[in-house]
């Protein structure tokens, strides 16, 4: 396994048959936690966070967390307060969803896409490939986002990530 353990605060209010976190857990690729207090601290993938994830946040750069934590809930209940989880909170930069529910939507990734994107940015591409390989559409996420993911991984800090992101937002 890679440098990061994957943890999910599992709310269970989304369609269980389409839930990517449950599928990851079935393959022992992520651990589900049904309560906030049992969810361990880590790098919390939070679209409302003030700072974007960058390689600077990764293990080996003097930091702190070797866990990635996502909140698996419906986008309807994914409000700022729902992300009250322990750790350092980071948003993902511009990436486009490839899953059948939200295909083509920027920033609104599902849980496996969020983990895969974060792992690529943190230099753990093999781990990301392993996750997406469990989903028929999974590799499309890495293909659709190939250029930004490679460019983000070459950045040093969040300011550089935002500069790269601007190139894609300008094209929108
Ligand atoms: C809202 S849930 C939806 C999960 C969906 N039900 C599934 O089956 O995977 C997706 C989670 O992925 C993470 N995520 C998605 N897009 C993100 C972004 N732009 N920045 C940070 N985290 C993000 C967050 O933890 C978010 O709560």
Residue 143 buriedness (CB in 10 A; 0-12 / 13-18 / 19+): exposed
Q: How far apart are CA 70 and CA 44, in angstroms?
A: 6
Ligand 1 center to 72 CA (angstroms): 6
CB of 98 shorter than 6 A to ligand 1: no
Q: Which atom of ligand 1 is nearest to the CA of 108?
A: 16
Which string of DSSP letters, residue by residue, matches 56-74? Answer: GGSBTTTB---EEEEEES-
Rounded Cα distance between 117 and 32, Å, is 19
- Least Cα distance to 36 among 75, 63, 73 occurs for 73
Q: What is the largest CA-CA distance in the chain?
A: 42
Q: Is the CB of 96 under 6 A from ligand 1?
A: no
d(C-alpha 33, C-alpha 120), whole Å: 24
Tokens, residue 21: 């976190």
- Ligand 1 site, residue 124, Cβ cutoff 6 A: no
DSSP SS3 for 129: helix
Alpha carbon of 16 to ligand 1 centroid (Å): 15
Query: What single DSSP character describes residue 44?
Result: E
Q: Which residue has the tokens 């996750």?
A: 131
pLDDT, one tens digit for every residue, the chain (172 residues): 578 999 999 998 888 888 999 999 999 999 999 999 999 999 999 999 999 999 999 876 665 689 999 999 999 888 998 899 999 999 999 999 999 999 999 999 999 999 999 999 999 999 999 999 999 999 999 999 999 999 999 999 999 999 999 999 977 6
* ipTM of the shown complex: 0.99
Query: Are 114 and 30 a contacting pair, CB within 8 Å?
Result: no
Pocket test for ligand 1, best of 7, 17, 46, 99 (most atoms within 8 A of CB): 46
Ligand 1 centroid to Cα of residue 115, in Å, is 9
Q: Kindly report the pTM of this predicted structure.
A: 0.96
């Amino acid at each position: 396994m890679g440098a990061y353990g994957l943890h999910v605060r599992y709310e269970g209010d989304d369609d269980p048959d389409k839930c990517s976190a449950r599928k990851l857990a079935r393959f022992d690729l992520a651990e589900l936690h049904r309560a906030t207090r049992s969810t361990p601290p880590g790098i919390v993938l939070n679209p409302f966070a003030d700072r974007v994830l960058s390689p600077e946040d990764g293990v080996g750069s003097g930091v702190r967390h070797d866990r990635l934590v996502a909140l698996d809930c419906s986008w309807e209940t994914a409000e700022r307060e729902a992300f009250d989880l322990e750790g350092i909170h980071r948003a993902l930069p511009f990436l486009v969803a490839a899953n059948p529910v939200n295909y083509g939507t920027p920033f609104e990734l599902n849980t496996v896409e969020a983990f895969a994107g974060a792992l690529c940015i943190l230099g753990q591409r093999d781990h990301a490939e392993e996750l997406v390989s469990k989903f028929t559409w999974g590799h499309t996420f890495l293909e659709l986002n190939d250029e930004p993911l490679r460019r983000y991984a070459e950045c040093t800090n969040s300011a550089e990530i935002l500069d790269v992101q601007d190139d894609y937002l300008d094209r929108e």
